[in-house]
Structure 1
Amino acid sequence: MTKTTAEQNKALVLEAFEALFNKRDYAAAERFWSDSYIQHSAHIPPGRDGLFNLVRALPDTLRYENHLILAEGDYVIAHGRFSGHGRPASWIAADVVRFENGKLAEHWDVLQDEATKAESASGLPMFGDRFPA
């Protein structure tokens, strides 16, 4: 059984997201996601294949940018932006990942369309320090 630290898990999530979402390197991504991966997202079919097939169906312009990543024990929360997915607004996401045996084993997310400055009641951006162009 492989046990990873919180710091290792943060690095693994960033590497995994880079491989899958930005590089579309499915062979590399398989090294990060467990064969028995559990997907809790309402918009993603079950399992690793469900996630990978969803990404395959999205435009090649899909990109993930991370803004903040936190970890405790076997859990990581990544706050990031998914852009280029073909919808009018980028998604701001809080992705929660549970690790088991050094791999991404389970996932939940909260997604929200990124607000423009005109749409933001607070007047503050949802991601980073500036609004989308």
Structure 2
Amino acid sequence: MSKTSPEQNKALVLQAFDTLFNKRDYQAAGRFWSDTYIQHSAHIEPGRDGLFNLIRAIPDTLHYEHGLILAEGDYVIVHGRFSGHGRPAAWIAADVVRIENGKLAEHWDVLQDEATQTESKSGLPMFGTRFPV
């Protein structure tokens, strides 16, 4: 278990995600992800390079925004939206990240396309308070 607080871990993950996904600053992002980063996502090649190469291949219009974020011990879960990636619908994600020695060390995710108001059986948006336009 790390010596960082849940609040510090949440701030680390949000800063890391913003640096990579929104700013696309790969050099700075390298300081957030461990050299031995473990990737459990079915959509991303192994390791830090797999993640960085995926983001390089996505249009520069990619935008990440976070919603709910929870942390306990070395784990952070963040609910977010990835838009501008060139596909018809934004992705709504629940990302689970394990922190080790102040870096993102391991990642799991659950992804799905964001539903429109017409597609939503519940009548509620999947992210935030409004449906996508």
Q: TM-score range by the shorter chain?
A: over 0.9
Whole-angstrom distance in 2 between the partners of 1:30 and 1:49: 9
State the match for 2:28 in structure 1: 28
State the match for 2:92 in structure 1: 92
Whole-angstrom distance in 1 between the partners of 2:12 and 2:104: 8
Is the partner of 2:123 in helix, strand or coil? coil
1:4, distance to aligned residue in structure 2 (A): 1.5
Q: Deviations over 1:34-75 (max 9, x none)?
A: 000000000100000000000000000001000110000000
Check conservation: 1:98, 1:107, Cα contact below 8 A.
yes
Whole-angstrom distance in 2 between the partners of 1:61 and 1:79: 20
Check conservation: 1:3, 1:100, Cα contact below 8 A.
no
TM-score by length of 2: 0.98
2:75 is the counterpart of 1:60: no
Check conservation: 2:62, 2:83, Cα contact below 8 A.
yes
The aligned length equals 133
Structure 2 segments unaligned to the other structure (5+ residues): none
State the match for 1:114 in structure 2: 114
Q: Any residues of structure 2 matched to 1:3-42 within 5 Å, and which?
A: 3-42=3-42
Whole-angstrom distance in 1 between the partners of 2:13 and 2:2: 16
Whole-angstrom distance in 1 between the partners of 2:15 and 2:99: 14
Whole-angstrom distance in 1 between the partners of 2:7 and 2:34: 19
Question: Structure 1 vs Structure 2: percent identity of aligned residues?
Answer: 83
1:3, distance to aligned residue in structure 2 (A): 2.7
Check conservation: 2:2, 2:74, Cα contact below 8 A.
no
TM-score by length of 1: 0.98
Check conservation: 2:61, 2:84, Cα contact below 8 A.
yes
Structure 1 segments unaligned to the other structure (5+ residues): none
1:2, distance to aligned residue in structure 2 (A): 6.2
